[in-house]
């Protein structure tokens, strides 16, 4: 093969606009590259407990947090295995690929899954949630599972409305919330919203590598844990509570905590959590302005059709009929070194996703949008040109 036949790798830095994992700030990368320490060393303990307190502040909880070496799936499983028993019923609010996957996991663990079905573009109807809870007069439903930010569709589900449905019906089920693509990007208030278990992961809003996950756990959930009989070992909260660090049955992934200490510093001290949320809102509006502009001329559209539920951390973009989103994404990647998220589950090839969470600013968003528009032109995707101007107008 001659040099001219070799596939060309675009020069310059990879432009990463996936909805997780996300860009890692250089200072977090450097902090993570810490030399090995003994996790029983009291000096590490200081870093660890400071991180634990920081995570509680981000989750907005004063209750318990348990951590796992593993991606978000590990925390999903820990949450179910610690709270439920074989044959228990969980009510899953359908939101998209991730609510379905969590439900499938529950089924595999021997849990009965009842679903409140929803149109993925409009989102679940809270009246239907309340009706399902009201119909359960025998309180067979032991837990309600909701994905706070559905990463596959770009939709935020308002957790306080789910809490209100539980309260209105006087239903005692535990409220389980997946915060994997919301925590550290969108406001989340575990205690105020009455969430009993909040599932989080390292690789999105927290701006860390993938592989650390955790659950915030309420006192009510800890009580339920005492009678849960689903098999568990590595994930067993009772066993964890006996460990010196109150988590981790095995080796503690120390590098993560040096990184987490730095990402907490960036979020809380350097920028301020409220400003982090405001930045996500600002950048998300710019992305949506661009997509809404492109949608003219039978162009791609916002997948989410409920404005009050637009996600400020990820936008799913529905391709025009007959246009394959994965072919378009390949053009963006191979020609321009722009990495975009693909469609998941039944949305494969039908949508692409722009992640706008984590370590991100206006130039990065504008660069992404300009390159998406360029790639649409090159790939022959119909659209109304000028989306970047719409984004600039939204930002200015
Ligand atoms: N839940 C949501 C909302 C997600 O976005 C993801 C991953 O993107 C997961 C769960 C699964 O997490 P992980 O891939 O870290 O196992």
| Chain segment 14-47, per-residue pLDDT in tens | 999 999 999 999 999 999 999 999 999 999 999 9
Find out whether 21 and 198 touch, Cβ atoms under 8 Å. Answer: no
How many other CB atoms sit within 10 Å of the CB of residue 251?
8
> Residues of the chain with pLDDT > 90: what percent?
97
Residue to substitute in 74, 149, 154, 180 for testing ligand 1 pocket (most ligand atoms within 8 angstroms of CB) = 180
Atom of ligand 1 nearest to the CA of 152: 5
Residue 113 sits at the vertex; the CA angle it makes with 305 and 219, to the nearest 5 degrees, is 90
- Per-residue confidence (pLDDT) for residue 9, from 0 to 100: 77
* Strand locations in the chain (E): 15-17, 64-69, 89-93, 112-116, 141-147, 149-150, 155-156, 174-178, 197-201, 212-217, 301-302, 314-318, 338-342, 351-355
State the chain's maximal CA–CA distance in angstroms: 72
Q: What is the mean pLDDT of residues 57-86?
A: 98
pLDDT at 8 over 90: no
Q: Using a 6 Å cutoff on CB, does residue 77 contact ligand 1?
A: no
Residue nearest to atom 12 of ligand 1 (CA): 72
Q: Give SS3 for 142.
A: strand
d(Cα 149, Cα 147) in Å, to the nearest integer? 6
Taking only the tens place, the pLDDT of each residue in 146-200 is 999 999 999 999 999 999 999 999 999 999 999 999 999 999 999 999 999 999 9
pLDDT in tens, 352-364: 999 999 999 999 9
Of 270, 157, 148, the closest CA to residue 204 belongs to 148
DSSP state of 37: -
Distance CA 317, CA 380 (A): 16
Global pTM reads: 0.97
The finding on whether 96 has its CB within 6 A of some atom of ligand 1 is no
Q: Which residue's alpha carbon is at the smallest distance from atom 9 of ligand 1?
A: 72
Exposed (0-12), middle (13-18) or buried (19+): which is 78, by Cβ within 10 Å?
buried
| Cβ of 72 less than 6 Å from ligand 1 | yes
What distance in Å separates the CA atoms of residue 322 and residue 122, rounded to the nearest whole number? 22
12 pLDDT exceeds 60? yes
Whether 73 lines ligand 1, by a CB cut-off of 6 Å, is: yes
Residue to substitute in 20, 153, 177 for testing ligand 1 pocket (most ligand atoms within 8 angstroms of CB): 20
pLDDT for position 7? 60
Query: How far apart are the C-alpha atoms of 20 and 178, rounded to whole Å?
Result: 14
Does the Cβ of 147 fall within 6 Å of ligand 1? yes
């Amino acid at each position: 093969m001659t040099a001219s036949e070799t596939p060309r790798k675009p020069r310059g830095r990879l432009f990463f606009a996936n909805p997780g994992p996300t860009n890692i700030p250089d200072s977090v990368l450097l902090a993570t590259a810490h030399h090995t320490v003994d996790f029983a060393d009291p000096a590490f303990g200081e870093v660890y407990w400071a991180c634990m307190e920081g995570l509680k502040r981000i989750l907005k909880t004063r209750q318990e947090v348990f951590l796992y070496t593993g991606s978000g799936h590990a925390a999903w499983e820990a949450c179910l295995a610690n709270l439920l028993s074989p044959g228990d019923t969980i009510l899953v609010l359908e939101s998209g690929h991730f609510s379905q996957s969590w439900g499938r996991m529950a089924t595999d663990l021997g849990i009965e899954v009842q679903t409140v079905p929803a149109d993925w573009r409009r989102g679940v109807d809270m009246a239907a949630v309340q009706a399902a809870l009201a119909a359960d007069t025998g309180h067979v439903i032991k837990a309600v599972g909701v994905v706070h930010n559905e990463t596959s569709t770009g939709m935020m589900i308002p957790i306080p409305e789910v809490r209100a449905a539980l309260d209105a019906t006087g239903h005692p089920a535990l409220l389980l919330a997946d915060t994997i693509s919301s925590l550290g990007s969108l406001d989340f208030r575990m205690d105020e919203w009455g969430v009993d278990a909040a599932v989080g992961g390292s690789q999105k809003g927290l701006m860390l590598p993938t592989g650390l996950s955790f659950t915030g756990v309420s006192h009510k959930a800890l009580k339920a844990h005492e009678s849960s009989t689903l098999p568990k070992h590595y994930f067993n909260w009772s066993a964890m509570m006996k460990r010196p660090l109150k988590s981790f049955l095995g080796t503690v992934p120390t590098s993560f905590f040096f990184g987490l200490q730095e990402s907490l510093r960036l979020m809380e001290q350097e920028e301020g959590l409220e400003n982090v949320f405001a930045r996500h809102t600002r950048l998300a509006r710019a992305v949506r302005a661009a997509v809404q502009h492109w949608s003219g001329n039978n162009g791609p559209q916002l997948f989410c059709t409920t404005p009050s539920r637009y996600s400020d951390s990820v936008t799913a973009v529905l391709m025009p009929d007959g246009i394959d989103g994965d072919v378009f994404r390949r053009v963006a990647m191979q020609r321009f070194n722009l990495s975009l998220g693909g469609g998941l589950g039944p949305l494969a090839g039908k949508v692409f996703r722009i992640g706008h969470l984590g370590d991100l600013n206006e130039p990065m968003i504008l660069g992404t949008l300009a390159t998406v528009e360029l790639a649409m032109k090159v790939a022959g995707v119909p659209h109304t040109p000028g989306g970047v101007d719409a984004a600039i107008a939204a930002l200015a």
